[in-house]
Structure 1
Amino acid sequence: MKKLVIEGNKPLNGEITISGAKNSTVALIPAAILADSPVVLEGIPNIQDVHSLIGILRDFNVAVSFEEDEGIITIDPTNMISIPMPNGKITSLRASYYFMGAILSKFGKGVIGLPGGCFLGPRPIDQHIKGFEALGATVRNEMGAIYLTSPEEGLQGGRIYLDVVSIGATINIILAAVKAKGKTVIENVAKEPEIIDVCTLLNNMGAKIRGAGTDIIRIEGVETLHGCRHTVIPDRIEAGTYLAAAAAMGERVLVKNVIVEHIESLIAKMEEMGVDMEIGEDSILVKKSDNLKMVHIKTLPYPGFATDLQQPLTPLLLKASGDGTIIDTIYPKRVNHIPELRRMGANAKVESDMIFMQGPNKLTGAEVTASDLRAGACLVIAGLMAEGTTTISGVEYILRGYDHIVEKLTALGADIRMIEED
């Protein structure tokens, strides 16, 4: 059992460099298997999800090397084989579902166990399946494993309208469609930067995809894809997490390797709260910010306020004066951080999936548990703000998505350490 122990109320100073985007990386790695020669990905974060994906690739007989210090992963799918993976490693990771589209595209058939990951309420894959079927695939769900088969003549391009804006379905259908014959048009797609990143990689591999970042993506099928080099975009959620920590406890913190356009909705909310920031080309300087005022947050698909940032921002909101609310329209059940914050003295409650807060709050250290990745980030920031010692269990969730979080925060002056308990 790993736990994080934080001695709180220490000022933060210095600079922090944001790693490559987790939510891009977990799609780029499955996308790379569509090549017929090696793909080199740069800027890859050293997180548990990446190691899980590497394990899955090796089960498929893909040659993989990961230079962890450099953040470079080399994926050689030349000798890849399609083996059924109804359970095991593949079910422990949410993003493993991208292997559905990739395997279907590469081999015309496959068996993939339904994915796991953080539990955030219902996250159905019906839109993924709808997309595969529109391309001519047969999809069966048997005992929690998805059986995919394409017709003898292969997948055929089609027109697909997504009933809900889904990042996962958008990427999965793109992966399935890049080698389908003819044209595919996908409407009402997600516009997240991570989708543009995946399409950039695929286009560098020889795919013909247009419209990434807009409502409609058009794909002209190609017969083969080749290897290439690609650098992953910086992680906008990690950037937002450290900006929230810097605003809560920083005196002068420079957050580097940021694409500012990707977090404009967060920056706007922080400015509305009164956080003192200097926005640079690819960095943001956060200065000591007192007398913050409470705001209302409503999460929406990109470019709206990211669902992944409402939990990390909550502790900062608790420091502000006034009444505030958080409504998560993407994952309404994403409220498990609130009972944990209440243990630390937060004046916050949940009613009908809506979070109500009153501030300002003085937090005190407590024993708390992370229920998912971003709830873990929330509790880390709360621990930095609190008087006394905070001990966080459920650390494995945090390590799934934050590269060297202990080292990065320690470098800023935080008193945080990882301990192992039996």
Structure 2
Amino acid sequence: MDAFEIHGGSPLCGETQVYGAKNAALPILAATVMVEEPCVIDNVPDLEDVRVMMKILQTLGASVRRDGTSVVVDAGNLRSTNVPADLMRRMRSSIFLMGPLLARFGDVRVSKPGGCVIGQRPVDFHLRGMRALGASIEEKHGFIRCSSNRLFGTEIVLDFPSVGATENLIMAAALADGQTVIQNAAREPEIVDLANFLNACGANIEGVGEDTVRVQGVHHLHGTRHRIIPDRIVAGTMLLTVAATRGKVTLTKAEPAHLGALLAKLKQAGVRVHTDRDIITIECLKPLRAVDMRTAPYPGFPTDLQAPFMAAFTTAEGTSVIRESVFEARFKHVNELTRMGADITVDLQTAVVRGVSQLSGATVEATDLRGGAALVIAGLMADGVTRVEGLQHIDRGYQQLDVYLRDLGAVITRTGAMS
């Protein structure tokens, strides 16, 4: 397997662009199966998860091709509603195909999804909502089959503002008879982007970005062209990397409004932050000051940035307390950070990070996507050489991360497996 070899100690400096959001592109690509005319999706990142979703759509019978940063999907002649199990196990986001395939064809068969092992992420919220819309559910031998002659609008109250369930139910309800009201809906920007795409196709969705979403079902969706929003998690990872290495970088084609919680914490830690429309500039000349942080559903601090945040604050002045409230197994990167000299104590869902003067390079392994990004940040901070293995996880959510960082002055190369 490939690995990153990182020589730490170089501050990141310069200017770079933020590419499209993986977590918006995946459900939007899934939603194209509801449309019987071609759709053009612009600003689609070239990531492993996106490639898997494109392969799934092709296996179902859609015509899918990439043209630069755009993906063209024609699902007019879809011939199957059985999502391949081998592909579904490679990416949890393939569960997004449940709602749109059920809505269009009245039948879908999927396997239990895979993805990063960061804690329990049951599909119960998805299935409960599909049942409320009128679907019958059969779970057997690791597969889930949903079927319905017709979906009917209803009121659904989510126990937790699950992003995936909110998106799946919006897609299913878009072609249902009558109005569906989803209460305690998730509010993430990626959900807004999905709704904007569907509305451009002729759907009638209101209230996205709030905790109550109303979907008036329609009978047909037409093709459209849509541009994916900037990836706030990639932008946040870069901002934390710049702060950790005491650099100065300008991010263009970003969306500062989507990063309010992170920008507030960076300012609290002593980082200079300037925003202007789609531009974010940060500068960090001194060690970070320790700050406390708690993850929460949007607009709170994103759980996807918890691991990069922790890595950046391993050398902060003072002690930071980090509470993970979304996933119960999202501290797997802690052992690898301590291998590099970090002083971190974990008690259930709380991590106490005591700042040390310096991390030291070591061989470490990524076990999940965002934890892998944290190890890269740590390597860029560390004295000496760090080898980060397990790049298959990082490749799922960061597009050519080594090239991206090298353009800003990082000393990082991708190497093959050691003999």
TM-score, length of structure 2 as denominator length: 0.98
Aligned to 1:91: 89
Distance in 1 between residues matched to 2:80 and 2:211, nearest whole Å: 33
The secondary structure found in structure 1 opposite 2:192 is helix
After TM superposition, list the pairs within 5 Å mapping 1:190-201 onto structure 2: 190-201=186-197
Pick aligned residue for 1:223 from 216, 219, 227? 219
Distance in 2 between residues matched to 1:5 and 1:259, nearest whole Å: 31
The secondary structure found in structure 2 opposite 1:118 is coil
Distance in 2 between residues matched to 1:383 and 1:103, nearest whole Å: 43
Pick aligned residue for 1:143 from 131, 141, 144? 141
Aligned to 1:133: 131
Instruction: Answer yes or no: is 1:276 the counterpart of 2:275.
Output: no
Is the 8 Å Cα contact of residues 207 and 225 (structure 1) preserved in structure 2? yes
Cα-to-partner distance string for 1:167-222 (whole Å, 9 max, x where unaligned): 00000011111000011111110000000000000000000000000111111110
Q: Give the CA RMSD over aligned residues.
A: 1.1
Aligned to 2:357: 361
* Residues 2/247 of structure 1: CA separation in 2 closer, same or farther (3 Å cut): same
Distance in 2 between residues matched to 1:103 and 1:156, nearest whole Å: 15
Say how many residue pairs are matched.
Answer: 418
Distance in 2 between residues matched to 1:357 and 1:273, nearest whole Å: 14
Aligned to 2:152: 156
After TM superposition, list the pairs within 5 Å mapping 1:337-352 onto structure 2: 337-352=333-348
Pick aligned residue for 2:330 from 330, 334, 357? 334
Counterpart amino acid of 1:290?
K
1:258: how far off? Answer: 1.2
Is the 8 Å Cα contact of residues 86 and 146 (structure 1) preserved in structure 2? no
1:288: how far off? Answer: 3.1
Aligned to 1:307: 303
TM-score, length of structure 1 as denominator length: 0.97
The secondary structure found in structure 2 opposite 1:92 is coil
Instruction: Answer yes or no: is 1:2 the counterpart of 2:2.
Output: yes
Instruction: Answer yes or no: is 1:256 the counterpart of 2:257.
Output: no
Question: Sequence identity of aligned pairs in percent?
Answer: 39
1:310: how far off? Answer: 0.8
Cα-to-partner distance string for 1:333-384 (whole Å, 9 max, x where unaligned): 2001111000000011211231111113300100001110000110011000
Counterpart amino acid of 2:381?
M
Distance in 1 between residues matched to 2:54 and 2:33, nearest whole Å: 12
The secondary structure found in structure 1 opposite 2:89 is helix
* Residues 358/329 of structure 1: CA separation in 2 closer, same or farther (3 Å cut): same
Cα-to-partner distance string for 1:376-399 (whole Å, 9 max, x where unaligned): 110011000001110011100000
Aligned to 1:63: 63
Counterpart amino acid of 2:59?
D
The secondary structure found in structure 2 opposite 1:130 is helix
Distance in 2 between residues matched to 1:339 and 1:166, nearest whole Å: 28
Distance in 2 between residues matched to 1:319 and 1:284, nearest whole Å: 24
Distance in 1 between residues matched to 2:287 and 2:362, nearest whole Å: 25
Distance in 2 between residues matched to 1:383 and 1:324, nearest whole Å: 20
Is the 8 Å Cα contact of residues 30 and 97 (structure 2) preserved in structure 1? yes
The secondary structure found in structure 1 opposite 2:119 is coil
Counterpart amino acid of 1:32?
T
Distance in 2 between residues matched to 1:52 and 1:279, nearest whole Å: 35
Aligned to 1:19: 19
1:57: how far off? Answer: 0.6
Distance in 1 between residues matched to 2:167 and 2:248, nearest whole Å: 38
Distance in 2 between residues matched to 1:361 and 1:144, nearest whole Å: 49
Distance in 2 between residues matched to 1:106 and 1:361, nearest whole Å: 58
Aligned to 1:75: 73
Pick aligned residue for 2:389 from 385, 388, 393? 393
Distance in 2 between residues matched to 1:126 and 1:315, nearest whole Å: 33
1:250: how far off? Answer: 4.1
Structure 2 portions without partners, runs of 5+: none
Cα-to-partner distance string for 1:280-310 (whole Å, 9 max, x where unaligned): 2211112233042101110011000000011
Counterpart amino acid of 2:401?
I
Is the 8 Å Cα contact of residues 157 and 182 (structure 1) preserved in structure 2? yes
Structure 1 portions without partners, runs of 5+: none
Is the 8 Å Cα contact of residues 9 and 386 (structure 1) preserved in structure 2? yes
After TM superposition, list the pairs within 5 Å mapping 1:175-194 onto structure 2: 175-194=171-190
1:86: how far off? Answer: 5.7
The secondary structure found in structure 1 opposite 2:243 is helix
Distance in 1 between residues matched to 2:41 and 2:126, nearest whole Å: 25
After TM superposition, list the pairs within 5 Å mapping 1:374-385 onto structure 2: 374-385=370-381
Is the 8 Å Cα contact of residues 347 and 361 (structure 1) preserved in structure 2? no
